[in-house]
């Protein structure tokens, strides 16, 4: 048997300092858990990138949760087959999700707001503002239209080929989808479901046919029809659109006229006078419903 490796004085004090720092980090984390500033799922997320948190003992973590204490922590660990010395990094996938479920406050489902209205009325400006300010969780649609110069895949849209879009329809991956001005647009179902289930209010910014489909499948959705301050205003907005060809612009105008007639189908009508005003009203609808 060889001798155990010896540490130099410098190595020893570096190791001690590191251990002290780790203890401090864990103790800060525990007090944030106690105060409710960090949830158990926050800690599990942090553990993925922070080795100090990953090495925290599960028993220590549970006992820090307010209202849990050592006895209940032990009982829960026994039930979930987690050994008393287990560290967060040693937890299996099922144990992680069982613990998260056990300690997550039951969140109420978020509200689904569908913002629709004639093309060119300014829906995308409202959606961009909401996305920037995080007022709601904003869905990213898929489309078969080509990206405009400033657009990026996964940000404004998922830009799909016709075949890819067909595949998504076949797999029933869309909450709704519709044709619009020579392209197809659809709302991916799964991310919306996930956001609603986790209690987030969700905004869909979509054209009218899609909005109607959402109402059929999800009657609890709040349908909002965005109106231009006036028809003249809408015409001039569409004419200012440099990205559209003259033919596309004419098509959009004709369609917008048809679309204005659909307003009665919607739960609410809002005039797009000023972005912040509209956002404020959308926000107040989530508490009114």
Contacts with ligand 5GP, residue ranges (CB under 6 A): 119, 123-124, 141, 145, 176, 178, 180, 185-187, 205-207, 210
Give whichever of 187 and 201 is closer to ligand 5GP, judged by the CB atom: 187
CB of 263 vs ligand 5GP, minimal distance in Å:
15
Helix, strand counts (H, E) of the chain: 13, 9
CB of 169 vs ligand 5GP, minimal distance in Å:
12
CB of 207 vs ligand 5GP, minimal distance in Å:
4
Cα gap 220→112, rounded to integer Å: 8
CB of 230 vs ligand 5GP, minimal distance in Å:
19
Q: Of all residues in this chain, which one has the CB nearest to ligand 5GP in the complex? A: 210
The DSSP annotation for 132-145 comes to HHTSSEEPPEEESS
Residue 87's DSSP bridge partners are: 57
Give whichever of 44 and 177 is closer to ligand 5GP, judged by the CB atom: 177
Cα gap 78→81, rounded to integer Å: 5
Give whichever of 68 and 192 is closer to ligand 5GP, judged by the CB atom: 192
Give whichever of 38 and 112 is closer to ligand 5GP, judged by the CB atom: 112
Give whichever of 44 and 165 is closer to ligand 5GP, judged by the CB atom: 165
The DSSP annotation for 214-261 comes to HHHH-TTSEEEEEE-S-HHHHHHHHHT-TTS-HHHHHHHHHHHHHHHT
What does the CA dihedral 43, 63, 60, 86 come to, rounded to 10 degrees?
A: -90
CB of 210 vs ligand 5GP, minimal distance in Å:
2
């Amino acid at each position: 048997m060889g001798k155990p490796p010896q540490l130099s004085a410098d190595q020893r004090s570096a190791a001690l300092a590191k251990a002290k720092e780790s203890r401090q980090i864990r103790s800060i984390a525990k007090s944030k858990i106690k105060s409710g500033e960090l949830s158990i799922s926050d800690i599990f997320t942090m553990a993925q990138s922070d080795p100090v948190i990953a090495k925290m003992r599960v028993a220590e973590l549970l006992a820090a949760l307010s209202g849990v204490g050592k006895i209940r922590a032990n009982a829960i660990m026994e039930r979930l087959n987690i050994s008393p010395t287990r560290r967060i990094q040693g937890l299996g996938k099922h144990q992680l999700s069982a613990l998260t479920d056990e300690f997550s406050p039951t969140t109420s489902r978020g509200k689904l707001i569908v913002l629709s209205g004639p093309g060119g009325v300014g829906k995308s400006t409202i959606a961009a503002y909401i996305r920037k300010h995080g007022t709601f969780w904003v869905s990213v649609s898929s489309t078969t239209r080509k990206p405009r110069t400033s657009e990026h895949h996964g940000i404004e849209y998922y830009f799909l080929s016709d075949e890819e879009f067909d595949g998504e329809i076949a797999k029933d991956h869309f909450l709704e989808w519709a044709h619009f001005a020579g392209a197809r647009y659809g709302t991916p179902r799964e991310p919306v479901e996930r956001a609603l289930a986790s209690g987030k209010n969700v905004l869909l910014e979509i054209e009218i046919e899609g909005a109607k489909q959402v109402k059929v499948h999800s009657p609890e959705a709040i349908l909002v029809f965005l109106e231009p301050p006036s028809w003249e205003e809408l015409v001039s907005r569409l004419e200012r659109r440099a990205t559209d060809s003259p033919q596309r612009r004419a098509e959009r105008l004709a369609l917008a006229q048809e679309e204005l007639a659909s307003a009665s189908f919607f739960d609410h009508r809002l005039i797009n006078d000023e972005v912040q005003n509209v956002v404020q009203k959308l926000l107040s609808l989530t508490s009114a419903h």
